[in-house]
Structure 1
Amino acid sequence: MRADPCQEARPVNTVIPSSGGALSRTEIMAALEALCARMDQIDARCPNGFPLYSPGTADDWTTSAGGSWVGGFWAGCWWLRARLTGSAADARKAMQLGRRLAAKLDADSIHRAMLFWYGAALGAQWCGNEEALGLARAAAGRLVASYDPALQCIPTGTAIGGGSDGVRHLAVDALAPVIQLLTLDGQAESDAIARRHTDTLIAACFTEHGACHAEALHTQGAFRPVDQAGAWSRGQAWAMLGLATAGARWGSPYTAHLWMACDYWQRSRPQAIPPDRLDAPSGPADPSATLIAALAMQSLARLAPGQAGWLRVAERHIAAIVRSRYLAGPHGAGASAGMFWGACYRTGPDRRELVESAWGMFFLMQVLCAFAGMAGTDPRGGLHPLFRMLSTTEEKPQ
């Protein structure tokens, strides 16, 4: 790979249909309020389990008592809502969900990083919740203990869908929360393990063209990719988010890898809403992949000199999604306002379809907050001043 492609980067070229430009502050706040209200409706529909997905606009949720790999995103939605509203009730709800996730602390799965970064650590960072911090630290300790020095990584593991090959399997989807959890307290040992895991994943899954394999299997003494590089849109986006996290933590060469991954995304997916898979262009789209990719683009614009154009690309992509049919507005036919059914998911052995999902909702809320400058990580109390703009009363969403 080139040493520092950011220094020789060409201007960002986009092929994005006009959608009226970037979102206005009014549009952002209206979308956030609709999403917050939608959370109450989903919560009422899923009183005894974590909501995983609901096909299309059906509002017919598949739930999980333990949360599967998705439960942290649902708790994260409530932490983010608590950050916006200043509501103690929202923070209590988020912590209640976090306690239910605690049963997965000892699950043999790297996806504990997703569960406890989004489901606990964000509560500590956004709301100053000490119990959530303790839960996040416990999860970080379990992940450190799962590190395999022979493989130089934290394997996917056998639980939460990992299967028997999980002990020698490497996956890109949890890279960002692994780095974030393991560097939470600045401990040298945990930081070193996070970096070795990242370097192993880069060596196994990243190509010199910026396309990323989503998974690899250790066989015959080395990790070997088991999928087509860059074909799965959300896999490429997960990789970009992981590289953005690595770049923010350690700088070069991770920022250079991030630039290559973003550049590949834009070359291979010039439209705002990409197909779920490049090798199946007639299949379903996956707007949720763009949300994750946009967060990475925003990070690149901040981390690398001369890369501010990526922020404009991300803003246009997000505007197109918010104004699309995948996010129901107040007058959406047959769909509740705030329903975001823009996540592609395998709902059966041979079936991929667009669904409403906890991770789709979380990343849409997070990226909207990021573009409005609202999701700072310093704990603060009280109703966020920007959120008050469109609030019709002083009552906080419950």
Structure 2
Amino acid sequence: MTADDWAGRALAAVVGRVTTTEAEVGERFPLYAEPGDGRWLTTGRGSWTGGFWAGLLWLRARCTHSEADRLAAARCTTRLASWVEADTATRGLIFWYGTALAFDSQEATALRGAAGRACLASYDPESGIVPWGGAFGGPRLLARADAVPGLVPLLAEVGGEGPAVAAEHLHRHLGLFLGEGPAVSVGRPQPAWQFDAATGWRAREEPAPGWSRGEAWMLLAVADALLRPDVAGRRPERLALAAEQLIARTEVLAGPVIPPDDVSRPRGAVDTSAAAITAVALLKLARTGKPGAAVFSHRAVAILKRLVGAHLTGPGPGRPAGMLLDGCYDAAKDLAVRHELIWGDFFLALGLAALDDLVDITRV
């Protein structure tokens, strides 16, 4: 590691934080941590974020080359199995990011395949989506921005009808998000819609336009699709146009480096987890072969540098090093608005590992 290897040093700090987190949470899954002392709120089954903890453990194993770390990651991934048949489109987040970094693990590969087939079976042809589902309560036939990332490659890898369903799921969400059909094509994109067979789609109030992660999740989903010829090749012109519209509408290249936690009502708080997701999406876009690769890469590095320089904790008394602070779990409910979030840590680590050539970002 060279003296100017800021990415390597930051990644080492985040990996060190993974080890302290592991000692604290045991067999449970970390969700978000208090900014003052770094203590985690945990869940027993992982909720929609469980795959990010498994993914961090796999990333640590890649960095340390430790058999013990690899086994720890494998054990954690096995504990995700109860979500395979759960009625939720967040299985894309859980099983793609929880297994994509798993090397030489037949168990992780089998689990990802089982989850992909279950999601394919959940596809609703009338609405054109794998529904958000009822696993977390509320209406089942929802289209949400966080129902797309991870699910596109998860479905595509199933084979058969998987790539076609992945493309339909993505394009239906893009049409709603960007303002085709019943949506309004000005202002911030609309991240959530509800389907009724009699009346069609209507916008949901929650999450509202301006939700920081909605735009980041959709950009990541588009980047993933552009990297998969089996998905992108089905409607290539539409997908390329959607990427251009997303970049322009969300100001990802010209707006704040770290976005407000709620763009529609900025209050001085930011969401570093949204920034980390965006940085990974831009690193992927830079590798699609589309115009603007240098611009995408430059912006991604700028985001990661800002996250490391201004929001990543260093050594000191009172709290652990390697915490990515100022993530926002839920701005509307004022819940964990300046905290360390497990998915923020994951995407920061993934972006840093890509810069250090420890992972192939096009395959995660």
CA contact (8 A) 1:302 1:308 kept: no
Residue of structure 1 aligned with 2:195, choices 210, 213, 218? 218
Residue 133, structure 1, aligned to residue 109, structure 2: yes
Following the alignment from structure 1 to structure 2, what is the Cα–Cα distance between the partners of residues 210 and 177? 26
| Matched position secondary structure for 2:143 | strand
CA contact (8 A) 1:230 1:236 kept: no
User: 2:257 aligns to what?
Assistant: 272
Residue of structure 1 aligned with 2:325, choices 324, 341, 355? 341
Residue 184, structure 1, aligned to residue 160, structure 2: no
User: 1:164 aligns to what?
Assistant: 138
Following the alignment from structure 2 to structure 1, what is the Cα–Cα distance between the partners of residues 187 and 354? 25
Following the alignment from structure 1 to structure 2, what is the Cα–Cα distance between the partners of residues 230 and 312? 27
| Number of residue pairs matched by the alignment | 348
Report deviation, 1:245: 1.0
Report deviation, 1:183: 1.4
CA contact (8 A) 1:79 1:94 kept: yes
**2:138 is matched by which residue type in structure 1?**
S
Following the alignment from structure 2 to structure 1, what is the Cα–Cα distance between the partners of residues 299 and 83? 38
Following the alignment from structure 2 to structure 1, what is the Cα–Cα distance between the partners of residues 267 and 74? 41
Q: Cα deviations across residues 187-219 of structure 1 (Å, max 9, x unaligned)?
A: 131111111111111122223569432211113
Q: Cα deviations across residues 374-397 of structure 1 (Å, max 9, x unaligned)?
A: 212799xxxxxxxxxxxxxxxxxx
User: 2:59 aligns to what?
Assistant: 80
Report deviation, 1:310: 1.9
Residue of structure 2 aligned with 1:300, choices 270, 275, 285? 285
CA contact (8 A) 2:146 2:214 kept: yes
CA contact (8 A) 2:312 2:324 kept: yes
Structure 1: give runs of 5+ residues left out of the alignment. Answer: 1-22, 380-398
Following the alignment from structure 2 to structure 1, what is the Cα–Cα distance between the partners of residues 217 and 273? 11
Following the alignment from structure 2 to structure 1, what is the Cα–Cα distance between the partners of residues 215 and 66? 35
Residues 267 and 69 of structure 1: is their aligned pair in 2 closer, same or farther, counting only changes over 3 Å? closer
Report deviation, 1:352: 4.8
Question: Within 5 Å, which residues of 2 pair with 1:1-398?
Answer: 26-123=5-102, 127-159=103-135, 161=136, 163-166=137-140, 168-185=141-158, 187-207=159-179, 208=185, 211-219=188-196, 220-227=198-205, 230-249=209-228, 250=232, 251-266=236-251, 270-303=255-288, 304-324=290-310, 326-331=311-316, 334-346=318-330, 349-376=333-360
CA contact (8 A) 1:259 1:300 kept: no
Residues 316 and 289 of structure 1: is their aligned pair in 2 closer, same or farther, counting only changes over 3 Å? same
Report deviation, 1:175: 1.0
Following the alignment from structure 1 to structure 2, what is the Cα–Cα distance between the partners of residues 308 and 211? 26
Q: TM-score, normalised by structure 1?
A: 0.81
Report deviation, 1:313: 1.5
CA contact (8 A) 2:328 2:335 kept: no
| Matched position secondary structure for 1:57 | coil
Report deviation, 1:230: 4.8
Percent identity reads 33
User: 2:182 aligns to what?
Assistant: none
CA contact (8 A) 1:210 1:257 kept: no
Q: Structure 1 residues 224-233 or 309-318, which shifts more?
A: 224-233
Following the alignment from structure 2 to structure 1, what is the Cα–Cα distance between the partners of residues 127 and 101? 30
| Matched position secondary structure for 1:63 | strand
Following the alignment from structure 1 to structure 2, what is the Cα–Cα distance between the partners of residues 179 and 360? 21
Following the alignment from structure 1 to structure 2, what is the Cα–Cα distance between the partners of residues 24 and 242? 35
| Matched position secondary structure for 1:62 | strand
Following the alignment from structure 2 to structure 1, what is the Cα–Cα distance between the partners of residues 279 and 361? 19
Q: Structure 1 residues 114-123 or 205-214, which shifts more?
A: 205-214
Following the alignment from structure 2 to structure 1, what is the Cα–Cα distance between the partners of residues 41 and 354? 29
CA contact (8 A) 1:178 1:194 kept: yes
Following the alignment from structure 1 to structure 2, what is the Cα–Cα distance between the partners of residues 370 and 191? 26
